[in-house]
Amino acid sequence: MTPGSFYLGVHRPHWLESAGVPLFVSHRQLRGRATLPRAAAPWVLDSGGFSELSLHSCWLTTTVDEYVEAVARYEREIGNLAWAAPMDWMCEPAMIERTGWNVEFHQRRTVANFIQLRGRGPFIPVLQGWTIDDYARCVAMYGDAGVDLEQEPLVGIGSVCRRESAAEIGRIVASLQPLRLHGFGVKKRGLERYGHLLASADSMAWSFRARRSGPLAGCDHRNCANCLRFALGWRAEVCRMLDQPSFLEVA
């Protein structure tokens, strides 16, 4: 993975116009807007699935056709859209408890949604699961549906950002080689451990850090959790790490 393939997660869509770096923006932040910003750099669209399932236990407020239409609008009016996440179903234990279904059901819904979206926009397949065996089963589900993930330019790996153990995620990522993987919500510790196995990644960990510290010198807000200056500084730190010879040698 290179600095150019690391997407900064943001919750201020107008930063697309001014940040000048690859961004990761949620559909929930863009939908319903009368006017949209023009993107100054490549960006990626998150479907907002975690919030959707957390709030409603299912995909309730957006249909497949509505999502396809929205993504087409973003491509047309915002521009520079690299790809979009599908309407997937996360598999964290808390999410399984919230929906009342099981991991396999969430995986089947995730695969079925990609089949519905395929060919209708720049959507990538996403693997969901919790254990190594879960993710292997999800790969097989895609194969049964006629999708050869090794032929896909990019495959997302979900349900990793809220885990405590970066080592555990690293083992899962290693088990999925040689797929070209995008890691959703990967923290710096995770990048250090398994970033060399990823084709790309995104993170909004900068906002979490900023919320728990004082503002930068010259900033007049209470903290920098919504501060572009802080976000870009944090991303620069990550990019310096990705540029280190030791990282590149492993990659």
Whole-model pTM: value is 0.93
Q: 248 pLDDT exceeds 60?
A: no
Q: 92 pLDDT exceeds 70?
A: yes
pLDDT at residue 83, rounded to an integer: 98
Among candidate residues 230, 126, 136, 241, the one with its CA nearest the CA of residue 185: 126
The mean per-residue pLDDT over the stretch 156-172 comes to 85
- As a whole number of angstroms, the distance between CA 42 and CA 23 comes to 7
Burial track 40-65 (b if 16+ CB lie within 10 A, e otherwise) = bbbbbbbbbbbebbeeeeebeebeee
The mean per-residue pLDDT over the stretch 245-249 comes to 55
pLDDT tens profile 23-46: 999 999 999 899 999 999 999 999
The mean per-residue pLDDT over the stretch 49-61 comes to 95
Is 16 within 8 Å of 37 (Cβ atoms)?
A: yes
Q: Which helix (H) or strand (E) holds 174?
A: helix 166-175
Q: In the predicted model, what is the mean pLDDT of the chain?
A: 93
Among candidate residues 120, 8, 128, 133, the one with its CA nearest the CA of residue 65: 120
**Tokens found for residue 45:** 């669209």
**DSSP string over 177-216:** TTS-EEETT--HHHHHHHGGG-SEEEE-HHHHHHHTSPPP
pLDDT at residue 245, rounded to an integer: 64
Is 83 within 8 Å of 154 (Cβ atoms)?
A: yes
Residue 119 CB contacts under 8 Å (≥ 6 apart), including other chains: none
Residue 188 confidence class, pLDDT cut points 50, 70, 90: confident
Least confident of 63-67, 143-147, 223-227, 241-245: 241-245
Residue 100 confidence class, pLDDT cut points 50, 70, 90: very high
pLDDT at residue 211, rounded to an integer: 84
Q: 242 pLDDT exceeds 70?
A: yes
Q: 165 pLDDT exceeds 90?
A: no
Q: Which residues pair with 181 in a beta bridge?
A: 155
pLDDT at residue 76, rounded to an integer: 98
Q: 12 pLDDT exceeds 70?
A: yes
Looking at 3.40.50.1370, 3.20.20.105, 3.40.50.1460, 2.40.50.140, the CATH number of the domain 3-250 comes to 3.20.20.105
Provide, rounded to the nearest whole percent, the portion of the chain with pLDDT above 90.
78
pLDDT at residue 2, rounded to an integer: 86
